[in-house]
Amino acid sequence: MADPHSIREALRAALTAWAVAEVRGDQARVTLAPDPDALAPHLDPVDESWSLGWACESAEPPVVRARLTVGGATREGLSGGHTLHDAKLRALADAARFFGVPTPAEGQWVEYDPEDGPNTSDLDAEVGETPAARSTPRLPDPPRDPQMDKARRHIEELLEQLKAAGKGGEATRVLLRGYGETVQESRAIYKELQAILKG
């Protein structure tokens, strides 16, 4: 079994892509995400049998689920984005978060051109300055919360029931904001999804 710290560092090293979360006029909010093309060189030395799968939950609005398996552990991320490609990157970042990789969810605003996309040139320089900047001062990674893992599993099971009932679209809109940062938020989201199933 791969060392969790090695997995975290490998995923952190692949944090080189910018995903567009939303566009407002000539501005876009971008979030940092692992580059899928950069995963292999970083993850292969940690676990040669790692895998990554995708599922499109919704084309409009774009919502994607990423399923990342490394070192015998599987984590799923679900996220929306400006395009399906952006949603894929953000879902991968969400999955990486569950491996303990801190990725800021709020993002940063940059100039946006419909043809050229977001101008992340200034941000790329910042990414180049990290990993040192990201790891200094190096705080210990927070311990995984088994209650949050359990809450997330319950939400995913309920999501499968909603899809089977033909209510996946409504559920996906609820999950656009994620699974919740605390157990209380996750419970509130679960109740909201239950109401859709019963409604």
Residues in Cβ contact with 138 at an 8 Å cutoff, skipping those fewer than 6 apart: none
Averaged pLDDT for residues 115-121: 88
Q: In the predicted model, what is the mean pLDDT of the chain?
A: 82
Distance of CA 31 to the CA centre of its chain: 10
Pairing of strands 63-70, 51-58: antiparallel
Alpha-carbon distance of 22 to 15, in angstroms, equals 19
**Which comes out higher in pLDDT, residue 121 or 90?**
90
Model confidence at 131, pLDDT cuts 50, 70, 90, reads very low
pLDDT score of 55: 93
Tens digit of pLDDT for each residue in 163-198? 888 887 788 777 766 777 788 888 888 898 899 888
Q: How far is CA 94 from CA 161, 183, 194, 195, in A?
A: 22, 17, 23, 25
pLDDT score of 159: 81
Residues in Cβ contact with 178 at an 8 Å cutoff, skipping those fewer than 6 apart: 78, 79, 94, 105
Cα dihedral 174/175/179/183 (nearest 10):
10
pLDDT score of 30: 93
**Which comes out higher in pLDDT, residue 140 or 44?**
44
Alpha-carbon distance of 15 to 131, in angstroms, equals 9
Q: What's this model's pTM, rounded to 2 decimal places?
A: 0.65
Averaged pLDDT for residues 88-117: 86
Residue reference for tokens 């996750």? 186
